[in-house]
Amino acid sequence: MINLASIFPNPLVPDCIFTSPLLATEPSSETAPMVLAGVLLSLIFIYLASKLGGELSKLVDLPPVLGELVAGVVVGVSALHLLVFPEAGAVAGDSVVITILQFVGLNPESTEEVFALSSEVVSVLAEIGVIILLFEIGLESDIRELQKVGVRAAIVAIVGVVAPFVAGTVGLVLIFGMPTIPAVFAGAALTATSIGITSKVLSELGQLKSTEGQIIVGAAVIDDVLGIIVLAVVASLAKTGEVDIVNLVYLILSATAFLVGSIFLGKFFNKSFVAIAEKLQTRGNLVIPALIFAFSMAFLANAIHLEAILGAFAAGLVLDETDKRKELDQQVIPIADILVPIFFVSVGARVDLSVLNPSSAANRQGLIIAAFLIVVAIIGKLITGWAIVGQEKINRLAIGIGMIPRGEVGLVFAGIGAASGVLDKPLQAAIIIMVILTTFIAPPLLRFAFKGEEQLVEQPELS
C-alpha cells in the first residue's frame, strides 16, 4: 500500500499564506484530508442508518424518527461502534471509522487528533441539524394559532414542570429515604420536555398545525425555558446551598424579553425580509438571508444563555408570517433532510445501553429507582392534558403524551449532578434510563393517541 506521507513529505510551512480546502490530498496539515475522510465516512454511516431505521419504522407503522433513534443506537457506542464520540469517553481505537481510515493511510500517531476533530465536526453538524429542525418547525407553526393557545400551553407547561418535580422529589425522599438535595436534583431532571423529538413526531403525523399540536409545541417551548431556569436554581443550590437570586431574575427576564421581543421585532422585520429577498438576484436569494436571520437569532439566544434552538424557532415563527413562506419552506426541506438525521442518529449513537445491564449492583439499584422515575415522568406529563379546563373537544391524551419525551435537558441534569457530586451512580443511571425510555416510548404512543384523526403525511412532493 502506498502511504500518502511518502508522496507529500512535509506539512506546509506556517508562513505559507494560503492553504486550500479543495484538494483532499493536500498536505497543509497531514491530518486535514483524513478529517474530511472521517467526516464523509461518518455521514455515510449516519445516512445509511437513518434511511434503514426510518424506512423500517415506517413499514411497521411507527414514526420514522423512532427508527432513526434506534438505528443510531445500533451504529453507536452500544453496538456497532460506527459512530462514537470522545465526550462519552471513547478513544480512537473504539471507532470503526478510524480503523477504516488506517487502511487508507492514516498515520497511527494522528488517530486521536483525527478522531477528536472529525467527531467535533459531526457534533456541530448535529447541532446545526437541530437548529434547522426547530427553524423548520417554527416555519410550519402559526404565530396566531400559538397566541390563541398561549394560555393553555402555559398551563400545560407549568403543570408539566411542577407535577413531576414535586412527585419525584417527595417520592425519592419518602419512599427511598434519599437526602433532600439529590432528590431535588432528580426531581428537577424530570421537568423539561424534549421539543425536538416531540415536534418531529407531530410533523410526521401531520398534527403540527392542529390545536393539540400547537399546544404541545407552545408548551414545550415554555417548558424548555422553565427547565433552564430550574437548572440554574438547582445547580446553584447544589453548589452553594443557596439560590442565586440575581442570576435567577436575569434568566427569567432575558428569556421573557427574548421571546416577546423577537415576536414584536418580527412584525417589523417581516417586510424588510421580503423586500431584501426580492431585490437579490444571485442564487440563494431567499435561503441565505433566512439562514443569516435564523443563525443570528440562534447565536443571540445562545449568548444570553438560552438555547440556540429557541432562537431558531423564533426566527422560523417570524418568517412564517411573510409572503415568501411557501417558497422558503420548500427550499428548507432538502436542507433539513440532510442535516436533521445527523442529529437524531447522533442522539441514538450516544446512548450507552450498558446502564441497563443488571449484572452491576449500581445498575440494579438504578433500575429500581428508574422504574419509579419513569412512572412519575409519564404520569406527571400525562395529566397535563386534563389540566386544561373548559374545552370539551380536545385530545387530552395526545397532549399529555406529547409532553413525555425528556431528552437532553434531563441528561444535562444528570451530568451536572454527577460532576458536582450530588448524584451517586445509581441515581445518575436511573435518570439516564428515564430519559432513554421516555424518549423512545413517546413516538409510538403519540401515534396511537392521534389514531383515527391523523392526516397521513406522505412524501413531500417536490418534483
Q: Considering only residues 210-249, where is the footprint of a copy of itself by CB under 8 A? A: 228, 231-232, 235-236, 239, 244, 246-247
Which lies closer to a copy of itself via its Cβ, residue 209 or residue 325?
Answer: 325
Which CA distances in Å does 420 have to 53, 182, 190, 237, 344? 37, 11, 18, 11, 28
How many helices and strands in the chain, by DSSP H and E? 19, 0
Side chain identity at 134, as an amino acid letter?
Answer: L
409 lies in the binding site for a copy of itself (CB under 8 A): yes
Which lies closer to a copy of itself via its Cβ, residue 35 or residue 82?
Answer: 35
Q: Of residues 147, 354, 357, 455, which one binds a copy of itself by CB under 8 A?
A: 354
Q: Using CA of residue 40, residue 44, residue 47, residue 53, what is the dihedral sign?
A: negative
Contacts (CB under 8 A) with a copy of itself, residues 132-191: none
Please list the alpha-helical segments (H only) found in 150-194.
Answer: 150-174, 180-189
Contacts (CB under 8 A) with a copy of itself, residues 67-96: 77, 85, 87-89
Smallest distance from a copy of itself to CB 89, Å: 4
Q: Of residues 420, 451, 453, 455, which one binds a copy of itself by CB under 8 A?
A: 420
Contacts (CB under 8 A) with a copy of itself, residues 293-332: 295-296, 298-299, 301-303, 305-309, 326-327, 330-332
Side chain identity at 161, as an amino acid letter?
Answer: V
22 lies in the binding site for a copy of itself (CB under 8 A): yes
Please list the alpha-helical segments (H only) found in 280-307.
Answer: 287-303
- CA–CA gap between residue 57 and residue 169 (Å, rounded): 36
Cell representation of residue 25 = 490530498
Assess contact for 72 and 346: CB atoms under 8 A: yes
The helix or strand, by DSSP H or E, that contains position 361, with its residue range, turns out to be helix 361-382
Q: Which stretch binds a copy of itself (CB under 8 A): 123-131, 149-157, 257-265, 369-377?
A: 123-131
357 lies in the binding site for a copy of itself (CB under 8 A): no
3-state SS track over 367-428: HHHHHHHHHHHHHHHHCHHHHCCCCCCCCHHHHHHHCCCCCHHHHHHHHHHHHCCCCCHHHH
Q: Of residues 198, 207, 346, 438, which one binds a copy of itself by CB under 8 A?
A: 346
Tell me which residue has cell 502511504. 3
Q: Which stretch binds a copy of itself (CB under 8 A): 207-215, 276-284, 382-390, 394-402?
A: 276-284
Smallest distance from a copy of itself to CB 391, Å: 31
419 lies in the binding site for a copy of itself (CB under 8 A): yes
Smallest distance from a copy of itself to CB 152, Å: 25
Q: List all residues 6 or more positions away from 204 whose beta carbon is below 8 Å from its beta carbon.
A: 63, 64, 65, 457
363 lies in the binding site for a copy of itself (CB under 8 A): no
371 lies in the binding site for a copy of itself (CB under 8 A): no
Q: Of residues 99, 107, 285, 360, which one binds a copy of itself by CB under 8 A?
A: 285
Smallest distance from a copy of itself to CB 151, Å: 27
